Structure 1
Amino acid sequence: MTNAPLLRYTMALGACLGAPVAFAASLNVGVEIPRLDVAQYHRPYMAVWIERADSSVAATLAVWYDVKKRDGEGAKWLKDLRQWWRRAGRELAVPIDGVTGPTRPAGPHQLAFAEDAAPLAKLPAGSYRLVVEAAREAGGREVVSVPFDWPPAKAAAPLGAQGSSEIGAVKLDLKP
């Protein structure tokens, strides 16, 4: 004796659970800030952005600076992030909700962006570069870039680059 309605329900549930689920593409960025052995350590100002093939800025993903300085004085040093400043920064009014934030300590940091949310929602298909720039008071300046294609290919492969002084490892993980 079989229970036909229960069998149909179980088969339908099994089909739903076994069906492929559609996920939005994503872009995950890992940025390492190295701890430098210097007499007077200052956290670096950093900018992370997506750049088109013609070097114009497609989207600013993050800008970390000294937001707690009185009278917004920390923002005046953003121009030390020379490439980002010349290409996008001077046209923006900081702080920018969801983009700007305080400087980060030494160590690894993660940024995650979904295809269906800003800034990727309006990013057309094409070849781009992820660019990370760091500048530090009483220190140096460094720029690291990682080329990638958007939207990502069917098989996602981690990409990356290694900085030499102000920036450690930069990892880019694209998921289709």
Structure 2
Amino acid sequence: MRHPLPLAALLLAAAGAAHTAAAADLTVEIEIPALNVAEYHRPYVALWIERPDQSVAANLAVWYDLKKPNKEGTKWLQDLRQWWRRSGREQEMPMDAVTSATRAVGKHKLSFADGAKPLGRLPAGDYRLAVEAAREVGGREVVYLPFQWPPQKPQQLKAQGKTELGGVVVDLKP
């Protein structure tokens, strides 16, 4: 006697495991440093992935002042110059799964899964992660970390900001 149901369940489980194994994860830790300044404002921060031609493959996060009335906080987004020129001016704020409030001094971890918003399905290839920060009555800084997607093995990339950003750590997992 044949048992087609157990065989079908086994095939579905194997297909699901193969799909899960192909999924990749990207985790980013961004440090907002404590600055000894007379007038401190939390920075606006944009995090995105760009292709070799510098076009934006995915907007991952934009931190800005969401609480200002009449969306007034959005007018300062253009101070994130690189992000603004490459993608920001074309976006409708707030962006689902991307925008959130500014963050305080400290380390902040963000995780992104292949196939899920806002990363989506990133085609295989060479990319670079960009993190840009700008502060009112302060400076502006961009940090770039090149990487290949999907990662073939677990990998950790690090960059160090000089003024508006502290350490930026990227963990890639196949």
For the criterion TM > 0.5, the same-fold answer is yes
Structure 1 equivalent of residue 94 of structure 2: 95
Structure 1 equivalent of residue 171 of structure 2: 173
Residue deviations 1:100-152 (CA, integer Å, cap 9, x gap): 01100000001101113123332110000000000000000000000000000
Structure 1 equivalent of residue 61 of structure 2: 62
Cα RMSD (Å): 1.5
The 2-side partners of 1:28 and 1:130 are apart by: 11
Aligned residue type for 1:64 = W
Structure 1 equivalent of residue 75 of structure 2: 76
The 2-side partners of 1:121 and 1:99 are apart by: 12
Residue deviations 1:70-109 (CA, integer Å, cap 9, x gap): 1110001000000000000000000012100110000000
Structure 2 equivalent of residue 162 of structure 1: 160
The number of residue pairs the alignment matches comes to 157
Structure 2: any 5+ residue segments left out of the alignment? Answer: 1-16
Normalised TM-score (structure 1)? 0.85
My pick for the range that moved more, 120-129 or 64-73, is 120-129
My pick for the range that moved more, 130-139 or 116-125, is 116-125
Please tell me whether Structure 1 or Structure 2 has the larger radius of gyration of its CA atoms.
1
Contact 2:47 2:59 in 1 (8 A): yes
Aligned residue type for 2:125 = G
Structure 2 equivalent of residue 128 of structure 1: 127
The 1-side partners of 2:120 and 2:39 are apart by: 41
The 2-side partners of 1:119 and 1:42 are apart by: 27
Structure 1: any 5+ residue segments left out of the alignment? Answer: 1-19
The 2-side partners of 1:78 and 1:135 are apart by: 9
Contact 2:30 2:169 in 1 (8 A): yes
The 2-side partners of 1:126 and 1:76 are apart by: 34
Aligned residue type for 1:165 = T
Residues 7-86 of structure 1 correspond to what in structure 2 (within 5 A)? 22-23=20-21, 24-86=23-85
Contact 2:80 2:134 in 1 (8 A): yes
The 1-side partners of 2:107 and 2:116 are apart by: 24
Q: Please report how far the alpha carbon of residue 156 of structure 1 lies from its aligned counterpart in structure 2 after TM superposition.
A: 1.1
Structure 2 equivalent of residue 6 of structure 1: none
